[in-house]
Amino acid sequence: MWFPEIRSPTSLRLTNGDAWDRSSMRMASPFVVFSKQGHDSHPSLDHLVVLVFGAVLEVVCVSLPGYIIARLGHFDADKQKFLANLNVMLFTPCLIFTKLASQLNADKLVELGVIPIIFVIQTLVSYLVAMIVTKCFGFNKRASNFVTAMGVFGNSNSLPISLVISLSQTLKGLHWDKIPGDNDDEVAARGILYLMIFQQLGQLVRWSWGYHVLLAPKDKYDEYNDESIEEGRYRGEHHSSEEEQSLLLGIDPNEMDNEGTLGAPESPSQTDGSEIYEPAGRTPVVGSSRGSPSESEDESDTIRKAPMKIHPTGFPDHIQGDFDGNDDADGILSFPSIRASGESETPSGIKGLWARTKPACKSIKSRVSEKLVTTAQKMFNALPRPIQTSLLALYGIWVRVYTFLWEFMNPPLWAMLFAVVVASVPDLQRLFFEEESFINTSVTSAIKSSAGVAVPLILVVLGANLARNTQKRENIDAEEKQIGTKLLVASLICRMLLPTLIMAPILAVFAKYVPVSILDDPIFVIVCFLLTGAPSALQLAQICQINNVYEAVMGKILFQSYVIWILPSTLLLVMCALEVVEWAK
């Protein structure tokens, strides 16, 4: 149990220490200048600079190989996405479970309620700061929303987690004096717990408000409608000369039907990729066998003259028939199976067992399902009308809850929920984390091994993302070229400067006067300060690529914040946090 009891009101009284100047009867500032001797809670200034620099350099050293490998071309965007998704789906949930389930306590979960309050205050402060800064720069609505997104959504995952782990091993003033036997591992575990809660709150807002509003595509803004219409008109004129296209393809325009299309409509592969893009669709690969020249001419005439029926899926019927497994689909572009003359269609023996039994299994499943549905429908119709209405209402509520859970929940959230359940039941917690238990030596040990991969993998992908997002882009919008530098400066001010100046006194007041136990925890104060001035979230680059929103500026923001300003920013934030911890005692 690492959460002490809520502080009594007597702990809020002023003492005879340095916090109160009796001669002038006024409160001293919590942000005093570091002395060479330092305070009890932290080392001297020069030693602190070395420790923070070492923590930041550790992060750089782990992420640098990912940057180099990506620059060499061996770590492309698809591989980065795969590893990032693997981390989110597997290793990060293991990290969350091991840290939360072993640290939480059922009696002290309510103490974490202060985290959403601080998150709302931080978000509101960043939003107001962004509104003021964008007004001063004179940005339009789209640019203002971009700067707001950069200021509101900070990195609460990769960089802060790595810094917290490094600082917990280097700074000795982070041990909580109200926890007997507190050590560096416990400090790191508590810091990760706090960060994970902040992260999930940020994810919720980032992929709702951020994705659909602040970083919406260009065509969502009324001020760009005329430009979009003009681009569409030019694009239509470019593709309107059907006769020229027909002559270039060697096709007689007279063979076109009344709608201006050939007897054989264009397949999806013939459409302009810039107009229709279906990343999740299935692309058929058309194969053809070479025959005699006469056969090729006959096939060409058939394609040119015989109209093709289009399946609702968008493919011609004879192609769709092959997808659906229809044996009677014998079109020109069908995919005939290549078999030897004496080979049967279904393999004999064990290899063909499933192929022979699959139709029967499908038939049995269909009949059983139909029977169950019919029986349930009869039972439901036999019930009184009020009961039917109540059951329908309950079913509607269940469908909404089920849909919400599967849309909102993700593997880290499921891991957090499972960790809370385990931590709330003492018997389960002992079962998973008691040293000599069978579950601890097998299941928990395996989870801990997977959890150790999470942070290094996060940093390697971070370096690769920086390499990809900081590369020069050729096709840059004229508006982006004109205001790109202003967007960069405004985003850095709204993310790494002004929110820290405003939130630092607020956090100091919280730590001094709010009677919640975790506000006494030095690592919690450091986490809050790191999040106020953390760089913009890396996921914003992904959203900008999806919606085509100032991608070049986004790359410059990531380079400036994660490479240039990370060291002085982290040093300043840690110094302020330690001063607040000292002042709040």
146 class by beta-carbon count within 10 Å (0-12 exposed, 13-18 middle, 19+ buried): buried
What one-character-per-residue DSSP string does 251-287 give?
A: --GGGS-TTS--SSPPPGGGS-TTT---TTS------
Highest mean pLDDT pick, 65-69, 298-302, 363-367? 65-69
Asked if residue 462 belongs to a domain, the reply is yes
Residues 132 and 57 in one domain: yes
> Residue 49: its pLDDT value, please?
82
Residues 445 and 543 in one domain: yes
Mean pLDDT confidence for 568-574 = 91
What does the mean pLDDT of the chain come to? Answer: 75
Higher pLDDT, 379 or 173: 379
Asked if residue 342 belongs to a domain, the reply is no
Asked if residue 235 belongs to a domain, the reply is no
Residues 214 and 309 in one domain: no
Asked if residue 167 belongs to a domain, the reply is yes
Asked if residue 227 belongs to a domain, the reply is no
Position 2 confidence tier, pLDDT thresholds 50, 70, 90: very low
Residues 265 and 214 in one domain: no
> Residue 282: its pLDDT value, please?
36
What share of the chain has pLDDT > 70, as a percent? 70
Residues 414 and 556 in one domain: yes
Residues 432 and 571 in one domain: yes
Residues 264 and 188 in one domain: no
Position 15 confidence tier, pLDDT thresholds 50, 70, 90: very low
Q: Find the CATH number of the domain harbouring 451.
A: 1.20.1530
Q: Taking 50 as the threshold, does the pLDDT of residue 13 lie above it?
A: no
Instruction: Identify the CA nearest to 263 among candidates 200, 310, 199.
Output: 310
Q: How many domains does one find in the chain? A: 2
What share of the chain has pLDDT > 90, as a percent? 24
| pLDDT tens column, 179-222 | 788 888 888 888 988 998 898 788 888 888 998 899 998 888 88
> Residue 344: its pLDDT value, please?
53
Residues 105 and 149 in one domain: yes
Of 293, 324, 355, which one is at a domain's C-terminal end? Answer: 324
Mean pLDDT confidence for 324-333 = 44
Highest mean pLDDT pick, 181-190, 335-344, 399-408? 181-190
Per the CB < 8 A criterion, the answer to whether 28 and 541 are in contact is: no
What one-character-per-residue DSSP string does 389-401 give?
A: HHHHHHHHHHHHH
Helices (H), 210-338: 225-238, 242-248, 293-305, 317-324
Separation in Å, CA 428 to CA 2, 183, 423, 454, 544: 18, 24, 7, 25, 43
Asked if residue 524 belongs to a domain, the reply is yes
Position 403 confidence tier, pLDDT thresholds 50, 70, 90: confident
Q: Which residue has the tokens 């891991």?
A: 415
Beta-strand pair 26-27/20-21? antiparallel
Cα–Cα distance measured from residue 309 to residue 318, given in angstroms and rounded to the nearest whole number:
8
Of 307, 324, 341, which one is at a domain's C-terminal end? Answer: 324
Residues 458 and 544 in one domain: yes
Residues 261 and 305 in one domain: yes
Asked if residue 463 belongs to a domain, the reply is yes
Mean pLDDT confidence for 275-285 = 37
Highest mean pLDDT pick, 394-403, 487-496, 533-542, 555-564? 487-496
Q: What is the domain range of residue 302? A: 254-324
> Residue 284: its pLDDT value, please?
37
Q: Taking 60 as the threshold, does the pLDDT of residue 521 lie above it?
A: yes
Residues 488 and 564 in one domain: yes
pTM over 0.95: no
Q: Taking 50 as the threshold, does the pLDDT of residue 564 lie above it?
A: yes
Q: Taking 60 as the threshold, does the pLDDT of residue 53 lie above it?
A: yes
> Residue 470: its pLDDT value, please?
72
> Residue 41: its pLDDT value, please?
52
Asked if residue 40 belongs to a domain, the reply is no
CB neighbourhood size of 109 (10 A): 13
Residues 433 and 569 in one domain: yes
Position 223 confidence tier, pLDDT thresholds 50, 70, 90: confident
Of 324, 355, 383, which one is at a domain's C-terminal end? Answer: 324
Cα–Cα distance measured from residue 394 to residue 392, given in angstroms and rounded to the nearest whole number:
5
Q: Taking 80 as the threshold, does the pLDDT of residue 54 lie above it?
A: yes
